[in-house]
Amino acid sequence: MYNSLTYGTVIKELRTNRFLSQGELAENICSQGMLSRIENNDVVPNVLVMQKICEKLNVSVHYVLNREEAAKTPINAWLEKIKQYKHAKQFEQLILALDEIEQLEESTFTTKLELQEIAYYHGCALSYANYQSSKALDTLQQGLNYTYSRQTSTATDLEVLLLSEIGRVYYMQGNFEMGLSFMKRSISQFYQENATRSTVDLSKVFYNIATAFIDLKTYEEALSYIERGILWCQEKKSYYRLDDLYLLKGLVFQDTNRFDEAIETVEIAETLEKLVAAS
């Protein structure tokens, strides 16, 4: 079961943070009056309405239902901040924010899920600063170990992301076999629960593995993962990593002498990049 007070409060906070009016969020989901009642904690939405609201806000239902009231929980504000830095690829600011988090009292972090999310962002930041960093790999692995077991048949969205990032770091460090193993496991776990996946960040798992296959000059396989990643972004109405996926697609076309298609695809990527920067 979930706490309706938490759900309404978090939805209102996420909506206002994204500069959406109640009418804009409610469109094609429910009436504005119903959304107002949800946000005021007067009613509990049904599962379908809940899922549609979360999709429009680009968050998972799992994320919303596992948060405490955002205004009363400092770590949630930190998680929101570092998530925004990562999405904007502002890795210097991300590292500074993570350094500040390390100075907070241990009691600030109350759940394994919170610790796991921090470890994911921290490991990503460290690896982008220096992909040879052993600390990056250790941090990502520690984050995965908070909840993941190979004996478990399904993985959460965050576990899928951690598996992929661990694989990416292994690959960048020259351990190609281990890297591909983790990235393929990430993709496999993604499709175990594909129907319920909702975290827009998951486009990154397709980007990671496609990059590796381009490096290996296995272009058809790379293109397959790129197309799947683009489809995921389209389904979730998300720009996250969409420009990067089109850039990879352009690179595949260039390397396979499909130059007209490469130029067209890179132009799409550049347009998407401008749209993201302006949003």
Neighbouring C-beta atoms of residue 279, cutoff 10 Å: 6
Residue ranges per structural domain of the chain: 4-65, 74-179, 198-279
Residue 82 token pair: 């570092």
Q: In terms of Cα–Cα distance, which of 58, 46, 114 is closest to 82?
A: 114
Out of 1.20.1560.10, 3.40.718.10, 3.40.50.720, 1.25.40.10, the CATH code matching 198-279 is 1.25.40.10
In tens, the pLDDT along 224-276 reads 999 999 999 988 888 889 999 999 999 999 999 999 999 999 999 999 888 77
Whether 117 contacts 79, CB under 8 Å: yes
Q: Would the CATH topology of 4-65 be identical to that of 198-279?
A: no
Give me the pLDDT at residue 60, please. 76
Protein fold of 74-179: 1.25.40
In tens, the pLDDT along 74-117 reads 446 777 788 888 877 788 888 888 888 777 755 555 578 888 88
Protein fold of 4-65: 434 Repressor (Amino-terminal Domain) (1.10.260)
What are the phi and psi torsion angles at 54 (to 5°)? Answer: -65, -40
pTM of the model: 0.70
On average, the pLDDT of the chain sits at 85
Quote the CA–CA distance of 255 and 226 in Å, as a whole number. Answer: 15
